[in-house]
Structure formats: C-alpha cells, structure tokens
C-alpha cells in the first residue's frame, strides 16, 4: 500500500515539475535591425531547451538583383545551438552553427575593371566587374554574442558568427551569358574560405 502511495506521489510530482519547466521555457522571435536599412531581411526564432541552452532557427534573404552594379542575391538558412553563461536570453553566450546558402553574387575581389585571368594566368576578354558566380554553400561555424532586456518582453541580441564555407558554383559573364571559367570544364568550381558570415543586432520579442 505504501509503495503505491509513493509511486502515485512520484508520478504527480514529476508531472507538476515537467509542467512548470514547460511553462518556463521561453520563445523569442527577432529581426536584424542592422541589415534591414539596406534591404536585407534576417529573421529568427529562438527556443529555450534548458535553463542555459537555446536553439535558434535563422534565415537571411538578400533580394538584390543588382547592388552598386553587382549581383547580390542570396539566401542563408541555419540553426544555432547556444549556451548562456548566466541564463537563457540573458548575458554572454557562445554556440555552434550549421547553415546552407544559395547565391547569385559578384564576389568582392571581382569589383574592378581589370580583365579576368584564368588559372593558367592567361588574360581573357572578360572584365571582372561583369562577372558573377551562381551556386551554393555549406557552412559550419561558431557564434557568440550578448543579449539583454530592452524593456518588458523586448530584448536586444548583438551577435557575430565566423566559420568555414565550402562553395560550389559556376561563373558567368553578364554581357554575353558565357561561362568565363571554362578552364574548369563545364562542371562546378570549388572553393573554401574562412569568413564572418552572420552578424548584427537582433530586436527580439518574447511570445512565450
């Protein structure tokens, strides 16, 4: 009889504790105030998993077909796992990020009017500023930042992510539509680089 009482007490107590923990788990939706003025949309939702651990889903969209005369259209989507040193949604945090991207851009090192040189060092008839790259990326990186309360139900999240991007792309000339990178054949170019790929100031609103 006593055993049944203790089992019943444990089940009821566990249910109450689980319910309280579920109620305490917060959810914030957010938008990047730093990118919005230049027409780039970065939105996210951050979910509390434990007292100091959160999971964030994040998406960034640049709709620019042309920015300062260069292709600048891309989309990045990813997931952060974050650890807060104080408590979730408060203070300093570090984490890991995995992202995927699709792009149609002109890389910054092509923003000049020099003639394109292929891998053999031969000068081609293509001008760098008319060239663009179209493809996709897989990115693994680290994220860090600081989040604090702005006013009731509102937070500010200042963050930066840095990591390694593995790119697959094809290069084209805007004027002729030709592949300028035919020294690679008709296949994909491959490149890898370390770079800061996300950052800004998120304005966050608590919905739960």
- Model confidence band, residue 6 (pLDDT cutoffs 50, 70, 90): low
Q: What are phi and psi of 39, to 5 degrees?
A: 80, 15
The SS3 call for residue 177 is: coil
Q: Which residues pair with 78 in a beta bridge?
A: 58, 99
CB-count burial class (<10 Å; 0-12, 13-18, 19+) for 46: buried
**Mean pLDDT across the chain, nearest whole number?**
88
Q: Of the segments 18-22, 29-33, 114-118, 189-193, which one has the largest average pLDDT value?
A: 29-33
Please say whether the beta carbons of 114 and 127 come within 8 A.
yes
CB count, 10 Å around CB of 112? Answer: 10
**Count, residues in the chain:** 208
Q: What is the pLDDT of residue 11?
A: 52
Average pLDDT over residues 111-127: 85
Domain limits, the chain = 29-105+134-169+194-206
Average pLDDT over residues 122-136: 90
Q: What are phi and psi of 50, to 5 degrees?
A: -155, 175
Average pLDDT over residues 157-174: 96
Predicted TM-score (pTM) of the model is: 0.80
**CATH code of the domain made up of 29-105+134-169+194-206:** 2.40.160
Q: For 51-83, give the DSSP string.
A: TTEEEEEEEEEEEEEEETTEEEEEEEEEEEEEE
Q: What is the pLDDT of residue 80?
A: 96
**Does residue 24 have a pLDDT over 80?**
no
């Amino acid at each position: 009889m006593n055993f049944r009482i203790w089992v019943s007490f444990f089940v009821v107590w566990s249910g109450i504790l689980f319910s309280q923990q579920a109620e305490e788990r917060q959810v914030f939706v957010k938008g990047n105030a730093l990118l919005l003025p230049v027409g780039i949309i970065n939105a996210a939702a951050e979910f509390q998993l434990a007292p100091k651990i959160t999971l964030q889903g994040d998406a960034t969209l640049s709709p620019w077909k042309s920015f300062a005369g260069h292709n600048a259209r891309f989309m990045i989507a990813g997931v952060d796992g974050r650890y807060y040193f104080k408590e979730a949604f408060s203070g300093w945090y570090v984490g890991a990020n995995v992202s995927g991207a699709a792009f149609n851009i002109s890389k910054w090192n092509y923003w000049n009017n020099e003639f394109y040189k292929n891998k053999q060092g031969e000068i081609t008839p293509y001008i760098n500023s008319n060239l663009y790259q179209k493809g996709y990326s897989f990115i693994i990186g680290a994220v860090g930042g600081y989040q604090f309360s702005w006013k009731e139900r509102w937070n500010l999240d200042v963050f930066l992510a840095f990591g390694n991007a593995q790119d697959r792309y094809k290069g084209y000339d805007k004027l002729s539509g030709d592949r300028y990178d035919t020294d690679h054949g008709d296949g994909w170019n491959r490149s890898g680089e370390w770079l800061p790929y996300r950052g800004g100031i998120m304005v966050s609103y608590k919905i739960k």
